[in-house]
Homo-oligomer: A and B are copies of this chain.
Amino acid sequence: MRANTFGELLRLTTFGESHGTAMGAVIDGFPAGVDVDLVRDIQPHLDRRRPGQSKITTARSEADRAEILSGVFDGKTLGSPIAVIVWNKDARSKDYDPNYYRAGHADRVWEEKFEHRDYRGGGRASGRETVSRVIGGSFARLLLPDEVSIVGFTRQIGTHIAEDIPHDLTMEQVDGHATRCPDHAVAERISDELKACKEQGDSRGGVIEIWIDGLPAGLGDPVFLKMKNRLADAFMSVGAVVGVGLGDAPAAAAAKGQQFHTGIAGTGPEAGISPAANGIQGGITNGRRICMKIYFKPASTVGSTAKKGRHDPCIVPRAVPVIEAMAALVLADHFLARRLDRA
């Protein structure tokens, strides 16, 4: 089981326990000759994920400075594996009791599986593992054509749903609010609710929506590596994610075919393209925007633990760069795969 490796051609292997020595990412299958600058290309994505960014996130304070150990020389990739680590600094292991199993977390089941476990802060099962994913995703982005954009944002937290979202939304706009909700009226209500949550030791889930634009038609593979299931796999592998949908899946399930399928069949240049497909037909991109929703359950740590510990009342805002990173990994893998499609 390649349990710690993601991807087929571009492969990210992650390692590290939450309170161990370091978190790491090894990226293999990365082509040679790609310009990379740690400060410009990698660190900003880590900073977007970093704890302690605002009043609505955990108080754990990690500078999370990435160090490249291999694979890059003179500002360019070498074609050899790129290893990057982030040291764990602010790990307060004494906060954890080896005989205490947190509800909703992996503590108990991890012990059932492995017997021996690192009980400190979830160990390998901690959300801190996503540091490695963000590193991987930031490298993956370097393999995407300039016209490709990946923008994730907070569509919903609790029962607050953003409605007013510009069609040409940018990452900068998303980051303009600590909630990463680009509908600022809704964002303010979310912000208030999360502050109250924190005081009450309560938590919230929500929905991240991701828009991927600029993809050519013909990306993805037909059977087990369809674009839609690779993205689903990628997103569902993130801690608190409990569901994914291409567009609004529950609505699609209830729709009538003749209303849902608005595309034109026939022989012309646009024939066969379906606007309702959310960018993916038969598993392969059709050149339109991919829109997916990712559903998060409320954070597991609630009650008195939540009040005293260093936890986010809602991980959705900080999960945005993680979801984007996973999307970038899937896309870059498919862009590489595309080089192998034809004679």
Q: In the complex, which residues 120-159 of chain A have their Cβ closer than 8 Å to any Cβ of chain B?
A: 122-125, 129, 143, 156, 158-159
Q: In the complex, which residues 198-246 of chain A have their Cβ closer than 8 Å to any Cβ of chain B?
A: 200-207, 216-226, 228-230, 232-237, 239, 241-246
- A178 interface hit (Cβ, 8 Å): no
User: Cβ of A236: which chain B residues have Cβ within 8 Å of it?
Assistant: 226, 228-229, 232-233, 244
Asked if A285 and B109 make an inter-chain contact with CB atoms under 8 angstroms apart, the answer reads: yes
How many chain copies does the complex carry?
4
Give the docked Cα–Cα distance between A143 and B9 (Å): 19
Give the docked Cα–Cα distance between A334 and B3 (Å): 11
Give the docked Cα–Cα distance between A21 and B72 (Å): 10
Q: A8-B2, A228-B236, A340-B339 are in contact. Are A113 and B79 (CB under 8 A)?
A: yes
Q: A13-B13, A104-B276 are in contact. Are A32 and B223 (CB under 8 A)?
A: no
- A195 interface hit (Cβ, 8 Å): no
User: Cβ of A281: which chain B residues have Cβ within 8 Å of it?
Assistant: 104-106, 108-109
Q: Number of contacting residues on A, CB 8 A?
A: 159
Asked if B33 and A253 make an inter-chain contact with CB atoms under 8 angstroms apart, the answer reads: no
Interface locus among A22-30, A52-60, A163-171:
A22-30
Q: A6-B224, A224-B4 are in contact. Are A33 and B303 (CB under 8 A)?
A: no
Q: What's the nearest-Cβ distance from chain B to residue A11, in Å?
A: 7
Q: A104-B261, A108-B271, A272-B105 are in contact. Are A69 and B32 (CB under 8 A)?
A: no
Asked if B201 and A34 make an inter-chain contact with CB atoms under 8 angstroms apart, the answer reads: no
- A96 interface hit (Cβ, 8 Å): no
Asked if A223 and B129 make an inter-chain contact with CB atoms under 8 angstroms apart, the answer reads: yes
Asked if A242 and B249 make an inter-chain contact with CB atoms under 8 angstroms apart, the answer reads: yes
- A102 interface hit (Cβ, 8 Å): yes
- A273 interface hit (Cβ, 8 Å): yes
Asked if A257 and B299 make an inter-chain contact with CB atoms under 8 angstroms apart, the answer reads: yes
User: Cβ of A267: which chain B residues have Cβ within 8 Å of it?
Assistant: 99-101
User: Cβ of A85: which chain B residues have Cβ within 8 Å of it?
Assistant: 69
A/B interface sample: 25 pairs, CB < 8 A: A1-B225, A3-B222, A5-B224, A6-B224, A31-B340, A73-B116, A101-B267, A103-B261, A105-B281, A106-B281, A106-B282, A112-B216, A122-B282, A158-B254, A206-B253, A226-B237, A232-B236, A242-B246, A242-B278, A243-B293, A244-B244, A253-B296, A257-B306, A260-B297, A261-B298
